[in-house]
């Protein structure tokens, strides 16, 4: 039987996940687990490059794991784990640090951006963040890594480090390729439809969180910004508000844009928003209910994450032993 290719991806636990995370990442991850050997991690080591409140970080880590499962990640079919539960991530990072040039890290666009955002806390962890990311990927001998535009540079560094180590010591790491996922529907802010929906938006009414109640979802969509006129037509340039609500309706019902246009021909925005609100609430409801079950039963969630951590360590340790042997560390 042909061995399945390995995919690794992760999310930093920095806030409540939104419907944008569902369409942009999680829906794809659920599909990938049927074709690939998937490792999905909650990247809490990455999170502490910015200042965190410890109790909040712990809560968000478990919330993110619960939302992964609620969205359809199957912990039997995939390996779901918390990054800090696998010490090999930090151990391999130290070795890779000694193969990484200062210039390589200082050229990283994300380091420059985050240094501007957090000018009061430009720490060494922020500087070597891409080396930790390389360790994350190389530990699991990942063939493919789903990457967005902002991570392409980091994957390039990962490839360079794998090739450099292999050249110096013999083949040890797979050189990973980028996996360009299907582009999920782009969800825009409900209050400013020209910009992307973001979990850090100070206007809470512009975001649909996966933890929102049916009433909250319906209310937010009722208050969503629309455009002049009353026609329901998909025109992102001239009618961004309506186009965004049509996208949400398409996600919730699977109907095409032309079917949606026909359904609401001759009806006003009131009917349209009411239908979108009900459909999106119905779509998110089972995800939220499963999430609430998991959060209420921390023992079940802990079991899943302990088991995932053990599976991840089994693979990670195999890679780290090879690395330690090749660099000359004594192992008994």
User: Among all residues, which ones are annotated catalytic?
Assistant: 114, 196, 199
CA distances from 315 to 39, 140, 165, 309 (A): 10, 6, 19, 10
CA distances from 142 to 86, 99, 154, 211, 313 (A): 16, 20, 15, 32, 15
The DSSP-derived string for 188-225 is BPSS-TTSB--TT-S-GGG--BTT--HHHHHHHHHT--
d(CA 231, CA 272): 10
CA distances from 299 to 79, 219, 296, 304 (A): 18, 34, 9, 9
**Which residue shows structure tokens 């990927």?**
137
At 18, phi and psi to the nearest 5?
-115, 175
CA distances from 283 to 22, 24, 122, 141, 187 (A): 11, 16, 41, 36, 15
Cβ partners under 8 Å of residue 20, min gap 6: 186, 187, 196, 197, 198, 199
Structure tokens at 181: 């996922």
d(CA 165, CA 12): 27
């Amino acid at each position: 039987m042909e061995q399945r290719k390995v995919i690794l991806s992760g999310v930093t636990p920095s806030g409540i996940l939104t419907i944008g995370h569902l369409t942009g990442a999680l829906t794809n991850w659920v599909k990938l687990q049927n074709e690939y050997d998937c490792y999905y991690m909650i990247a809490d080591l990455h999170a502490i490059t910015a200042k965190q409140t410890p109790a909040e970080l712990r809560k968000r880590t478990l919330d993110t794991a619960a939302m992964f499962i609620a969205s359809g990640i199957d912990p039997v079919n995939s390996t779901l784990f918390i990054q800090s539960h696998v010490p090999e991530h930090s151990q391999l990072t130290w070795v890779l640090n000694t193969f990484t040039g200062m210039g390589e890290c200082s050229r990283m666009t994300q380091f420059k951006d985050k240094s501007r955002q957090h000018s009061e806390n430009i720490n060494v962890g922020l500087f070597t963040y891409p080396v930790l990311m390389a360790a994350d990927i190389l530990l699991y001998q990942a063939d493919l890594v789903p990457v967005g535009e902002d991570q392409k540079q980091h994957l390039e560094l990962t490839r360079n480090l794998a090739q450099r180590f292999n050249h110096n010591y013999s083949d040890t790491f797979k050189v990973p390729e980028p996996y360009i996922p299907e582009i999920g529907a782009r969800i825009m802010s409900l209050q400013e439809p020209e910009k992307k929906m973001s979990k850090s938006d100070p206007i809470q009414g512009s975001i649909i969180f996966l933890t929102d109640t049916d009433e909250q979802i319906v209310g937010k969509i009722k208050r969503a910004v629309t455009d002049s006129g009353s026609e329901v037509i998909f025109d992102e340039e001239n009618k961004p508000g309506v186009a965004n609500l049509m996208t949400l309706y398409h996600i919730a019902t699977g109907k095409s844009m032309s079917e949606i246009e026909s359904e609401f021909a001759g009806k006003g925005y009131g009917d349209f928003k009411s239908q979108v609100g009900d459909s999106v609430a119905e779509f998110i409801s089972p995800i939220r209910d499963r999430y609430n079950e998991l959060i209420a039963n921390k023992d079940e969630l802990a079991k899943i994450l302990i088991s995932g951590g053990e599976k991840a360590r089994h693979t990670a340790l195999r890679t780290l032993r090879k690395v330690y042997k090749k660099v000359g560390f004594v192992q008994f």
